[in-house]
Structure 1
């Protein structure tokens, strides 16, 4: 075994995040160092292994490695000299000892005493010692915690004090437990805006501040801290205890759905919890979340618990899992209390299980709303949002309450009406006037009178017809169908063909909504009969418009136009707006945009002139959509039309959601992403309130794009992650691409994996050019994070993809960048070889693009000069630096030429 192998393994481990993969490499390095008989090297590796165990979620294993390194140091301090690191690791050893109830508490006090002795001997401040005496005192609920806190705050900081983020984090936790939230905020405020860079920050202080923000009314800061901190914690097994804090935060802020999502993601970690204490806290907080879910009426939900050992994977009902986790947390707390001789840990668990909401609902993002969903208006899956959807003809549309209008059937007046025919007339009049309260009031009065006065067969048929309309309003489509089938049968028995065909039209339209294409025949029959034998004004027009609506839905534009041509507005001029609107829809489908625009303008004019200005929303939205898709970019008139539509849509509705959607997308097309954000947020909230979740999912991708384009990368990533589970195909790829760029901008290593996944998919689809691009993006992310060996491998893969794609420039570039990453990773020999392959690839550049050829050649020369200078081949390096300067000068790239000249001069000076 060579020591070079040990150093190589340690170098590779440094490029990995803390966790199992990194720990395995360091463990392998230790075995090799021990096998080589190099005790000093093994000592230094063991120091790093202690950190790997602690930060990788296995603190119990760190006791052995720390104890061994401390003993080696004490045996021969001059030979095993890492005094600072050992004294630093003592702090973690103290806090870790409290996390396992099987370890006697005396051992923690003994380590504290030893720590104090060593700090005094080394002339160090006792500030850190006071800190960790406070930690132990708080763990057992000892009153001395306050005394140690005062000493800790007043003692002088030195190089062994926790970092500028971790030290205030500990103080905040003490003050929170004491209920001193304002003091906690004052301590944390100065460091919250600092650039905290240690392994535990800034996520730890943000997590500690959650109760502070909540208890001091800083709710937006609380939401932001939760989102930013949990995003880091969620990838780290070692942070399971911190994740428990985020579960509790969700439970007390009305975000039980988010809490359930977090619980589902991490429930499997309980089987390999980093410590008993983390297990206990997570179990308690998870039980609290499940209790909230159950209380919200979702007790029938289940949580998927992964397999572990002999336990198979299973979907566990929420109440069952809540009881199990509450019992688990309570039992673990009892073990701690037995060890500590106090009830403090049990008290903490009981407080968590009984925690009450701090706020009713705290939105974690602008599009998160808690509201009562609007009543469903259909039972079939909702269609994609479309601005060209034709409304039902007003003659038999489901009525909506008119904004600000009084009912034409005053309830007090109805109390004296006993004539069933008069009541039915009021029902019909209110339906035509779209006066929902008046219609329902007349229906209720009819039912009351009918209990003592037997309705005639005709009255019974009309009432059943009206009951079908009531069912339709309530979203009970099947109930409406059953009523209308019965009413049609009764009208037929009475020989009332006009009444029967009116009902058939509604029945057929509802069957079509339910996915039954056979309903079209009933709509046709209704239209043909009423056009030939209208019972009253508007019958023929309403039936024909309904038929055109159905034909548009079945993508039969020619038939729809023919039907619309049969409409005689003299029969019912109030339908002019709807007639021109439907004609506009048909013309859009035939591709005649100019004629469609004219028809929609006529519809809009008719709606504006009517006594129902709110009817202009649909044509305004459709016309805005036409103008938004103008060649050269959206027409400004589109925005005015969107505004006009919103102005008349007072209450929640799918149409209002569609306006926000289309205006937001138009803002995006007009390169106004900040304006788009506000509208798309409202659109998602509106679709969600309507229960139309599929629409909300798709718009989340657009919102993520808008956030990305405005530099709000965290929001972009979170919204994209919300959307992804509901997407597939090209929609999913676009969303993952947005996510990857957001992760990249935030400096998250996950961006490399996301880009790599996109590359793998592109390669499977036979798109090597896209695969090359995504692999180069992944490599760039890793390089920016100083993961140079990993970056070099990705650049090499990108080079292979470039070669498959026939991209000679990409081939040169990725080989060159791979070589430089190999240099930075310490593998100089491979770097030299890789750079030679980049130079060889220059021969493949097209001869007809001289500037690009010169540029790429100069870049290779410059980087090859840097590389060769590093390996001591100075004359060759000087020649390449000179060639690079000449190339950049030829292209008038002054800055690059000056940098290459400086490099050349430095190399020449080193030679001389």
Structure 2
């Protein structure tokens, strides 16, 4: 028993330290199992108390109800041995609050059962001397859920007047629940107000504020608060997306995407969270909401012109129990129809149980909301114009042959299955070509045993067509002609070529092409040019344009690899103008041409070529890995061309296609996040980079690489005005740099962290991290710029605290800036010195220094900052009651602010007031004329 107890207690410690997530339920289940095995019911009680809470957070209603019932029965039988409150294991009375809601969320439980649970809860609370708040909230939630609106309204008002106690819902939950009720019953302004109070007050708990934010998405849109709604959506989804218990939250976010023109994002959210529909079999209320909301999202996809878009993952085996059997993935339109059908059925079951029409009305409201439209662009997803639908599957033998040859020309792995589908009906030269391509493809993927098994059938086909010479070559050389041991066999190939007469052009072309490929693989690029060119000519003379094109492409590759990129570009351009070039080969030619454009830094032309390669690749139905390669190439070239917004959607497609075939995509999503940030999509970049960093951490990526992601995430958080989170991200980046033994990288991250800490008043913390940053790079001649920046920010932090060290630090920073002729930096430090002098009451010195800063800013080509320094000087003179001198400086600042409207208006406002005080009313009116009405 002692051994069991020790192991179980150790598990309890692990459970209590482990955050909610996939690891915690497994630890709890192990503890319960061990306690059962030990026969110690007290230990099992402690384990099951934890299990009830764990199941609630994980959204496992069945387990939560079972575990709670076991604990309640034991508590009622022996309250002393099994007390209601047993910290840190759990609190049975608190857990009671989840039970009625769980029963309400499934039409399988009758109203009498729910009422009995509520009454039993009330009795247990009464016996324990607990206040009414918790029970009232549970009764309110049940009445609201069942559609007894008048009863729910009365209970809500009673709750507001009921004193809070230890078993009241937390502030976050109460506000969220009331906000949801108000939003549903026509009090949307009150709902928005409650949630805003919740956010402003920093209230949060297990599923808040994400649930509250989701509840006011539509009300905020209807109130014209589009920016606030967008921010609420991004935050709500980011917080909710990793827990299947948050299905209803995801549903609200899908509807938001559908009505704001973000149909592609709606589709992505539906695809990601479809599996959650079968996660908790008893939470039918969440299923109803999610099914209807997903249907709204898919309807929006269809209305946007994509009704036949396959919904990835909809054909998963576990979903067939919900949607029914289906051949392949459901289309957006078909799945929407099925989801509405299922949602309607669940609503009918609820209304039949409750004796109201509340669920039917809720679906009606949702259908009505689906017709609303708001322009709130989110740039994380879009339907790419490149992602055209593939051509229909080939039906006739001729179509299958053509399709197989096109995929072969593209070099797609999908060609193997296509060839095997076409071969049984192929005849003549088509059969010979297909069998050759099949052997080459199998060998290229290392499937040499399969290739060897196919070789006899090919030899027979060659002889049937009178191609005895070719058959003889392939008997002697075997799989060498298809790439196996090719480099080692080059002398044998040359010997066969030398022995072959000129009256066998096709066979000579085959040997020459294989010889050219082998020399390329061996790195003898220049030696590959001539056999490739000769093979192309012979194929063309024999009427085999496809293979001629292949050799012309190989020639271009060889020429480029030998250093003649211009010559290679000319060959590729000639190929692209060849009307006989089929689409499969065109994909490869376009991709190669795009890369050469990139080498020549003609990025716009390269991006256009890569886009066309991606479009054609999708249209002919190449494999996902190849599609990903094309979109990745296009994205990188768009990014190099300074078009990060165009790169974002292409990176997304590349990542999705990699995910579809089980290839790693984290590097692509890192690039996507970087492009989002560069394009100004900071909030979307936060989501993407957060996910990348999480995945890198889980996979044990080395610290230096993770630090790159953390730095980008910190920059994105800053740009998204999530400054508190940005501070944390910079701290994490600094720690990773330290772990990677990168002192300079750590110093940079600490400077950025310190800058933010100082900006928001955490002066002591700012000084601590900035002092470390300066110490890390002091004396490093390669990092003078970073040292100077650190000194300047550290001086500003000491200045905030009134420390004398600020003067010494400013002098040191100025000296570094002047020594290295960093004009703008010198101006910025001078401006800081002027502000320091203001704080010391040294008016003349402050004005002189501010004007010196202004002149230096002007020399650096920054008139707006010059105006800012002049404004500082003018304010100092005004406070010193030297109004006439101040007017001249205000006018100078006004002129410098011509292209900086906020500064111009601030100067105009202050100058106008000053002139008015001086009695110069006409001048004041002229200055104020620039102010908005």
1:668 CA displacement = 1.5
Task: Classify the secondary structure of the residue corresponding to 1:749.
Answer: helix
Question: How far did residue 817 of structure 1 move?
Answer: 2.8
> How far apart in 2 are the matches of 1:433 and 1:861?
68
Distance verdict in 2 for CA 1:193–1:199, change over 3 Å: closer
Conserved? CA contact 1:667–1:673, under 8 Å: yes
Does structure 1 residue 855 correspond to structure 2 residue 827?
A: yes
**Residues 443-470 of structure 1 deviation map (CA, whole Å, 9 limit, x = unaligned):** 55799xxxxxxxxxxxxx9999789659
Measured after TM superposition, the shift of residue 843 of structure 1 is 4.8
- On the 8 A contact 1:213/1:222 being kept in 2, the answer is yes
Match for 2:139 among 137, 147, 169?
137
Quote the offset at 1:623 in angstroms.
1.5
Which of 617, 620, 640 is the equivalent residue of 1:651? 620
The aligned residue for residue 780 of structure 1 is 755
User: How far apart are 1:889 and its partner, in Å?
Assistant: 5.1
SS of 2:752's equivalent in the other structure is helix
User: Deviation digits for residues 84-109 of structure 1, max 9, x if unmatched?
Assistant: xxxxxxxxxx9999579999523898
Change (3 A) 1:245 1:656: closer
1:529 aligned to 2:496?
yes
**Is residue 680 of structure 2 the alignment partner of residue 711 of structure 1?**
yes
8 Å CA contact 1:604–1:619 kept in 2: the answer is yes
Q: Is the 1:531–1:544 contact (alpha carbons within 8 Å) kept by the matching residues of 2?
A: no
- For 1:649 and 1:464, locate their aligned partners in 2 and report how far apart those are by CA, in whole Å: 22
Q: What TM-score, normalized by structure 1, do the two folds share?
A: 0.54
Residue 201 (structure 2) aligned to one of 191, 198, 202 = 198
Matches within 5 A, 1:568-607: 569-573=537-541, 574=545, 575-605=547-577
With over 3 angstroms needed to count, the CA separation of the structure-2 counterparts of 1:850 and 1:805, relative to structure 1, is closer
Counterpart in the other structure of 2:68: none
The alpha-carbon deviation at position 200 of structure 1 amounts to: 3.4
Distance 1:644 1:823, change over 3 A: closer
CA–CA distance in 2 between the matches of 1:659 and 1:241? 34
Cα distance in structure 2, aligned partners of 1:140 and 1:428:
61
Counterpart residue number, 2:852: 887
CA distance in 1, matches of 2:404, 2:824: 77
Of 147, 162, 170 in structure 1, the residue corresponding to residue 151 of structure 2 is: 147
Which of 861, 866, 870 lines up with 1:897 in the alignment? 870
Residue 126 of structure 2, aligned match among 71, 92, 106 = 106
Partner Cα distance (1:430, 1:895) in 2: 64
Name the residue aligned to 1:832: 804
After TM superposition, list the pairs within 5 Å mapping 1:175-324 onto structure 2. 188=191, 196-200=199-203, 204=208, 206-208=210-212, 228-232=235-239, 296=316
Report if aligned partners of 2:379, 2:681 keep a CA contact under 8 Å in 1.
no
Aligned counterparts of 2:189 and 2:476: Cα–Cα separation in 1: 71
Counterparts of residues 57-76 of structure 1 (less than 5 Å): none
Query: Among residues 549, 557, 560, which one is paired with 2:525 in the alignment?
Result: 557
- Contact map agreement 2:210 2:239 (CA 8 A) in 1: no
Q: Residues of 2 paired with 1:787 and 1:504: CA distance?
A: 80
The answer for the alignment partner of 1:677 in structure 2 is 648
Where does structure 2 lack aligned partners over 5 or more consecutive residues?
A: 1-18, 20-56, 58-92, 100-120, 223-227, 256-266, 277-281, 291-311, 320-353, 355-369, 371-377, 384-389, 859-865, 883-933
Query: Which whole-Å CA distance do the structure 2 matches of 1:541 and 1:225 have between them?
Result: 65
CA distance in 1 between counterparts of 2:855 and 2:569 reads 55
Answer yes or no: is 1:665 the counterpart of 2:636.
yes
Q: What's the CA shift for 1:754? A: 3.6
Equivalent-residue separation in structure 2 for 1:667 and 1:426 (angstroms): 33
The answer on whether the counterparts of 2:614 and 2:631 sit within 8 Å (CA) in structure 1 is no
> Secondary structure of the equivalent of 2:619?
coil
Q: Deviations over 1:612-661 (max 9, x none)?
A: 34432221222232224434x42547626743772575133255443322
Displacement of 1:788 in angstroms is 3.4
Distance change in 2, residues 1:444/1:732 (3 Å)? same
Aligned to 2:259: none
Q: Which region of structure 1 is more displaced relative to structure 2, 854-863 or 222-231?
A: 222-231
**CA separation in 1, counterparts of 2:230 and 2:549?**
47
State how far apart, in whole Å, the 1-side matches of 2:492 and 2:751 are.
Answer: 63
Q: Which moved more, 1:792-801 or 1:431-440?
A: 431-440
| C-alpha contact (below 8 Å) 1:803/1:811 kept by paired residues | yes
Q: What is the distance in 2 between the residues matched to 1:843 and 1:641?
A: 50
Q: Contact 2:773–2:790 at 8 Å: present in 1 too?
A: yes
Query: How far did residue 888 of structure 1 move?
Result: 2.7
What is the CA-CA distance between 1:589 and the residue it aligns to? 1.8
Other-structure match for 1:266: none
- Shift in Å, 1:590: 2.2
Partner SS state of residue 609, structure 1:
coil
Could you say which residue in structure 1 is the equivalent of 2:794? 818
Partner residue of 1:171?
A: 178
- Tell me: CA distance 1:540–1:225, structure 2 relative to 1, closer, same or farther (3 Å): farther
Residues 553 and 572 in structure 2, CA contact (< 8 A), matched pair in contact too? yes
Q: Structure 1 residue aligned with 2:453, among 475, 479, 483?
A: 483
Aligned match for 1:805, one of 780, 788, 791 = 780
Unaligned runs of 5+ in 1: 1-18, 20-56, 58-93, 114-131, 263-279, 300-342, 344-358, 370-400, 412-424, 448-460, 513-517
Mapped partners of 2:515, 2:589: distance in 1:
19
- Structure 1 residues 686 and 853 mapped into 2: Cα distance closer, same or farther (>3 Å)? closer
Decide whether the 8 Å contact of 1:701 with 1:735 is kept in 2. yes
Residue 450 of structure 1 is matched in structure 2 by none
Distance 1:245 1:749, change over 3 A: farther
Distance 1:503 1:429 in 2: 24
Task: Name the count of aligned residue pairs.
Answer: 640
Q: Counterparts of 2:804 and 2:549 in 1: how far apart (Å)?
A: 75
Contact 1:481/1:510 (CA < 8 Å) preserved in 2?
A: no
d(CA) in 2 for partners of 1:810, 1:157: 58
Distance 1:851 1:649, change over 3 A: closer
How many Å separate the matches in 1 of 2:869 and 2:685?
35
Q: Tell me how far apart the structure 1 counterparts of residues 407 and 142 of structure 2 sit (CA, whole Å).
A: 71
Hey, what does 1:81 align to over in structure 2?
A: none
Matched residues in 2 for 1:507 and 1:641: separation?
A: 34
- Mapped contact 2:391–2:620 kept (Cα < 8 A): no
Contact 2:733 2:749 in 1 (8 A): yes
CA contact 1:481–1:511 (8 Å) conserved in 2: no
Match of 2:714 in 1: 740
Is the contact made by 1:471 and 1:479 (CA closer than 8 Å) also made in structure 2?
no
The answer on whether the counterparts of 2:590 and 2:613 sit within 8 Å (CA) in structure 1 is yes
Taking a change above 3 Å as real, the CA distance of residues 713 and 478 of structure 1, as seen in their structure-2 partners, is farther
Higher mean alpha-carbon deviation, 843-852 vs 786-795, is at: 843-852
Asked if the contact 2:240–2:249 (Cα under 8 Å) also holds between the matched residues in 1, the reply is no
Look up the match of 1:701: 670
**CA distance in 2 between partners of 1:103 and 1:804 (Å):** 73
The answer as to whether partners of 2:767 and 2:798 remain within 8 angstroms in 1 is: yes
For 1:554 and 1:603, locate their aligned partners in 2 and report how far apart those are by CA, in whole Å. Answer: 25
Q: Alpha carbons of 1:767 and 1:907: their partners in 2 closer, same or farther (altered >3 Å)?
A: farther
Q: Whole-Å Cα distance in 2 between the matches of residues 582 and 367 of structure 1?
A: 37
Q: In structure 1, what is the equivalent of residue 918 of structure 2?
A: none
Equivalence for 2:608:
639
CA separation in 2, counterparts of 1:843 and 1:431? Answer: 66
Kindly state the Cα deviation for residue 162 of structure 1 after the two structures are TM-superposed.
12
What is the CA–CA distance in structure 2 between the aligned matches of 1:558 and 1:901, rounded to whole Å? 72
